[in-house]
Amino acid sequence: DTAVSQTPKYLVTQMGNDKSIKCEQNLGHDTMYWYKQDSKKFLKIMFSYNNKELIINETVPNRFSPKSPDKAHLNLHINSLELGDSAVYFCASSQQGLPNYEQYFGPGTRLTVT
């Protein structure tokens, strides 16, 4: 009964390939996020969706395209992978509108581009 799950946990691929990371939450939340954690542990927001609508899009290359088929899922597709894309990607979810909302994080997907 994992709250926020991501697949795969590890992803090793070569430069130029296209890959996807999937995220699912069973908390009934209406908002989902993607964060990127670099090798120095620095965390930065990439995208956020609320009820399948994109509400946050930070300065992320166009090669990254999030897709939310429903409010319980937020996938991240990456085209033409580059070495600099190597990082741990975390999905998170929360419920907007609650006074003291909390973001729940998935276990992360470690992407290694060779």
Partner 1 sequence: GNSVTQMEGPVTLSEEAFLTINCTYTATGYPSLFWYVQYPGEGLQLLLKATKADDKGSNKGFEATYRKETTSFHLEKGSVQVSDSAVYFCALSIKAAGNKLTFGGGTRVLVKP
Binding site for partner 1 (CB under 8 A): 4, 31, 33, 35, 40-45, 48, 55-56, 90, 92, 94, 96, 99-108
72, burial (CB in 10 Å: exposed 0-12, middle 13-18, buried 19+): middle
CB of 99 to partner 1, least distance (A): 7
- Could you give phi then psi for residue 28, rounded to 5 degrees? 75, 15
Handedness of CA 64, 69, 75, 77 (dihedral sign): negative
Q: Which one, 14 or 41, has the nearer CB to partner 1?
A: 41
The residue among 86 and 108 lying less far from partner 1, judged by its C-beta, is 108
- Nearest CB to partner 1, comparing residues 86 and 105: 105
